[in-house]
Chains A and B, each alone.
Chain A
């Protein structure tokens, strides 16, 4: 049972390194997907939103963790 719990925790930890970063990335991707699907936005613009959104979120997350002094 402990092994199963640890596997579940490992699987979650693989994709949720930090909750706020995970939620923010999912939000950016969902937003880009909705814009492409529902407003007929050029998919390349949607892809660029994902790219630059993720780059910005990464820097913000690292700086926030540095301020908090935690991982």
Chain B
């Protein structure tokens, strides 16, 4: 394991997990605020259990796939996933689509649960638990994919998992202290950075899957990241200019 590839993998897993865990935390907090920690904790534990089941079920299958095929498949998925994040972050940075607002999401979730409470149509603890479960499961799926994607190609699953766990611990610690949605996390900047890293990994693994011996080996990742960063910033600047021209 070389640090030139391990460090970006751990960093990408940490930052991407930070974004996802903050989003899940906002919803779990909304559930806990309205219905108490019991429903929120049960939903969270159930979500984590389903995620663990998915990892235990799919994890061993990865060892059966030939390395080049695995790199190619993961590379393509990373390209699609990373470029999707980068595209959205560029549009948000340009003001074309609104920034992700944790306070607004918290208010919306709380309002939705409040509506259920007023209607009394269903068992509210059940609804609250399912809401927490869905948040943990849906955001957790992305974390699991990112950890596998940046870690599986070079046997970096453990370091990438530690990166993700560190992000979970950080969010939980911050959440436990301030007891509010973590709305001051610069989410779009993080998403921009993660999109850059995942896209760079995507090109790297796709190339290796095609049989490319990249010049400079792992260091090529840094060049790819710089190019995707430049492309994201260029796209954002052009998008801003286009929206100004349309507004006139």
Closest to A24 in B: B83
Other-chain contact of A21, B84, B228, B236, B242 (Cβ < 8 Å): B84
Query: Are B199 and A54 touching (Cβ within 8 A)?
Result: yes
Q: Which of the candidate stretches B4-12, B117-125, B165-173, B204-212 sits at the interface with the other chain? A: B204-212
Q: Contacts of B138 on A, CB cut-off 8 Å? A: 6-7, 10
Is B35 part of the contact surface with A, judged by Cβ < 8 Å? no
Which chain B positions have C-beta within 8 A of A57? 83
Tell which of B86-94, B106-114, B155-163 binds the partner: B86-94
Residue A15 CB within 8 A of the other chain: yes
Q: In the bound complex, do residue A25 and residue B142 qualify as a contact, i.e. CB atoms below 8 Å apart?
A: no
Which residues of chain B are within 8 angstroms of A25 by Cβ–Cβ distance? 76, 79-80, 83
- Taking a contact as CB atoms closer than 8 A, the residue among B83, B84, B94, B210 that contacts A36 in the complex is B210
- Interface hub of B137, B202, B242 (most chain A Cβ within 10 A): B242
Asked if B238 and A62 make an inter-chain contact with CB atoms under 8 angstroms apart, the answer reads yes
B interface residues, how many (CB within 8 angstroms): 50
Contact A58 B214 (CB under 8 A): no
**Interfacial residues of chain B within 206-248, with CB under 8 A of chain A in the complex:** 206-207, 210-215, 224, 227-228, 231-232, 234-236, 238-240, 242-243, 246
- Name A44's closest neighbour in chain B (CB-CB): B212
- Which of B96, B227, B232 is close to A51, meaning CB atoms less than 8 Å apart? B227
Proximity string of chain A (4-18) to chain B, C-beta cutoff 8 Å, 1 when within and 0 when not: 001100110011111
A46 to B203, CA, bound (A): 11
Distance A58 CA – B72 CA, assembled complex (angstroms): 20
Complex partner residue of B206 from A50, A58, A62, A67, CB under 8 angstroms: A50
Main secondary structure of the interface of B (DSSP, over half): helix
User: How many A residues, CB 8 Å from partner?
Assistant: 38
Given A47-B203, A51-B203, CB of A66 within 8 Å of CB of B239: yes
Q: Is the CB of B231 within 8 A of A55?
A: yes
Chain B residues in 8 Å Cβ range of A70: 97
User: Is B242 a contact partner of A67 (Cβ separation < 8 A)?
Assistant: yes
Identify 14 new A-B residue pairs, CB closer than 8 A, beyond the known A15-B80, A62-B90, A66-B242.
A7-B138, A7-B141, A10-B141, A14-B84, A18-B84, A29-B79, A43-B207, A43-B210, A44-B212, A51-B227, A61-B83, A61-B235, A62-B239, A71-B96
Q: Identify the 8 closest CB pairs spanning chains A and B, nearest first.
A: A17-B84, A62-B235, A47-B207, A66-B239, A47-B212, A43-B211, A66-B242, A15-B80
Chain B interfacial positions (CB closer than 8 Å to A): 72, 76-77, 79-81, 83-88, 90-91, 94, 96-97, 130, 133-134, 137-138, 141-142, 145, 199, 202-203, 206-207, 210-215, 224, 227-228, 231-232, 234-236, 238-240, 242-243, 246
